[in-house]
Amino acid sequence: LTESLVLAITIEGRTPEWAVSDDLKQYSMNIVARVKIGDDIVTDSRDIVGVFDTTGRCLGTENVSYEASSSESMTYLTVYDNTMESRELSFRLWHHATGKMMVLTPSQKVEFNAEGFVGNTKNPLILNADDQYIQRIEMEPGWNWISLNVINNDYRAAKNLLSRFDWQNGDMLTDQNHSISLMYQDGEWMSNKGKAQLDEMIISVAESYRIKVTHNMQIEMTGKAIKTEGDRTIKVKSGWTSIGYTPLVNLPVTTALADYLYEAKDGDVVKSKTEFAMFYEGVDGTFEWKGNLKYMKPGEGYMIYRQREGETSFIYPYVEANATFFNDVSPKQNAAKRIYSSSMSLVAVAEGIELQEGDRLIALSGTEVRGVTVVEAQEKTADSPLFFLSIEGDKKAALSFAVERDGEIIATSGEVMNYEANAISGSIDRPTNISFVEQDRTQLPQSGWYTIQVVRLPAAPQTKGIYIYNGSKILIY
């Protein structure tokens, strides 16, 4: 007999990388605290409290301790520093149930006091979490599309916000909606529209921005959840508009854009830097967004393409932070590096090859990987799976394609189209056809490394491209 098995699935948020540097552990003090969110005492032992100085250095961290027998919930913090000088302390909570970082306000001002104590089990320091969240955005070298989902008037002026973080020469920020580009050089931001424009530039939670960084970089912003309808209202013009994302949690595209439903038209597109979805009107009157962009996520920037004339707007839903929490719902399937700020969207079917679920379609400009996506069994036109592929670039270039299965190139195409920034090729009803030729492994050299032109190499190649290795075509990137 078939027996159903009940599964309990826990989706874990990524814990913060709070740690005290060894060189700070010279002096210490102790704090006994109780954490509250509103009127509720925090009892989850997976919640973490962090202590910081005014420069943001972590001086202590500890989990909440809950004793069921006495119904007591405390946090026993050891706070370190390498100086006996007094300095004010601040507190944060990593809330396991939501995966969010929250600001904790102490019931009294707390300063570092070497070998001192604050609070006790009968009269603990109260740490209150209200509506202040900390948004953390991690950026990789190259171009990143970002948006803010906390609101703080101190961040509205671009100069004020940018001055809070450490930048490198050559880092850039662009505002696509207003055609503004900023570049950081020798301690200053320069604008393509002059100093006056930079002084007046406003950062909006309703818009997204593209930031190019030289090194891995993490920025944190403190602010309130975006609740008011006006702040959650997004204006959309005809053509492309860069839009922000205001909800605190990941939402399915259809849920996030529910208020845009009757403004959308078949073929409209919403895209992140590496994924996109296309609006589809079924013959039975159904509406849905189809593509490899399944969820919209806090911190990511988006663009929306509107075909109708004139400007419209929609309102993001407000969802409490303790709603169902999703983290990294879909893996980053696009292996292209972040060296480009723009992308084009391709809906395609493959001809000349029978695809399997899990096959990867790779877009190439010469030997450079410009985009990668995975075949999904549920998206089909006739008998051919649909590809939804975001392709990166900055100027017109010929594109060819390859299909990879289990690490091996099983089919390739010729140059079938040109890359154009923000172009849309194909639709769900009329996808672009890409003709592939399957590889005959028996005709390939069966040992050693070769170029695609079957020229033997003395060793493994050091540059990216498609090569022949032991009778198989593989992609190195």
Residue 441: pLDDT above 70? no
Question: Looking at residue 359, what is its pLDDT?
Answer: 87
Residue for token digits 């099983």?
410
Distance CA 164, CA 219 (A): 9
Query: Which residue type, as a one-letter code, is found at position 54?
Result: T
What does the DSSP assignment read for 307-375? Answer: -SSS-EEEEPPP--TTSPP-SS-S-------S--SEEEEEEEEEESS---TT-EEEEEETTEEEEEEE-
In the chain, the amino acid numbered 209 is: Y
What's the rounded mean pLDDT across residues 36-46?
91
Among 261-270, 322-331, 337-346, the least confident range? 322-331
Confidence at residue 356, expressed as pLDDT on a 0 to 100 scale: 83
Q: What is the mean pLDDT of residues 117-136?
A: 92
Best mean pLDDT range from 286-290, 443-447, 454-458: 286-290
> Residue 386, Cβ neighbours under 10 Å: how many?
23
Whole-angstrom distance, CA of residue 214 vs CA of residue 219: 14
Do 203 and 273 touch, CB atoms closer than 8 A?
A: no
At 2-16, the pLDDT tens digits run 788 888 776 667 788
CA distance 311 to 141: 35
What DSSP character marks residue 288? E
Q: What percentage of residues in the chain have a pLDDT greater than 90? A: 58
Q: Please tell me what DSSP assigns to residue 47.
A: -
What is the rounded distance in angstroms from the CA atom of residue 135 to the CA atom of residue 132? Answer: 10
Q: What confidence score (pLDDT) does residue 331 get?
A: 38
- At 283, the pLDDT band (50, 70, 90 cuts) reads confident
Mean pLDDT of the chain: 87
**Residue 264 reports pLDDT greater than 90:** yes
Does residue 327 have a pLDDT over 60? Answer: no
Least confident of 87-101, 104-118, 239-253, 361-375: 361-375
Question: What's the Cα-to-Cα distance from 293 to each of 304, 327, 373, 461, rounded to whole Å?
Answer: 12, 14, 11, 34
Q: Is the pLDDT of residue 329 over 60?
A: no
- Return the structure tokens found at 288: 């849905």
Higher pLDDT, 417 or 451: 417
Q: Indicate whether 64 pLDDT > 60.
A: yes
Structure token pair of residue 445: 């050299």
Round to whole Å and give the CA distance between 151 and 134: 10
pLDDT at 378: 47
Please tell me the distance from the alpha carbon of residue 355 to that of residue 462, in angstroms, as a whole number.
30
Placement of tokens 């009107």 in the chain: 281
Phi, psi (degrees; rounded to nearest 5) at 128: -100, 130
Q: In angstroms, rounded to a whole number, what is the distance separating the alpha carbons of residues 226 and 315?
A: 12
Q: How many C-beta atoms lie closer than 10 Å to residue 204's C-beta?
A: 18
What is the spatial distance between Cα 340 and Cα 210, in angstroms, rounded to a whole number? 10
Q: What is the pLDDT of residues 408-421, one digit of tens each?
A: 888 888 888 999 99
Each residue of 363-404: pLDDT tens digit? 988 878 899 888 765 455 456 788 899 999 988 999 999 888
The separation between the first and the last C-alpha atoms of the chain, rounded to the nearest angstrom, is 49
List % helix, strand, coil for the chain (3-state, nearest 5).
5, 45, 50
Confidence of residue 165 (pLDDT cuts 50, 70, 90): very high
Question: Where does the pLDDT of residue 453 fall: very low under 50, low under 70, confident under 90, or very high at 90 and above?
Answer: low
- In sequence order, the 6+-apart residues with CB closer than 8 A to the CB of 226 are 149, 150, 151, 205, 232, 246, 247, 318
What is the DSSP code (8-state) at residue 377?
Answer: T
80: exposed, middle or buried (C-beta count within 10 Å: 0-12, 13-18, 19+)?
A: buried
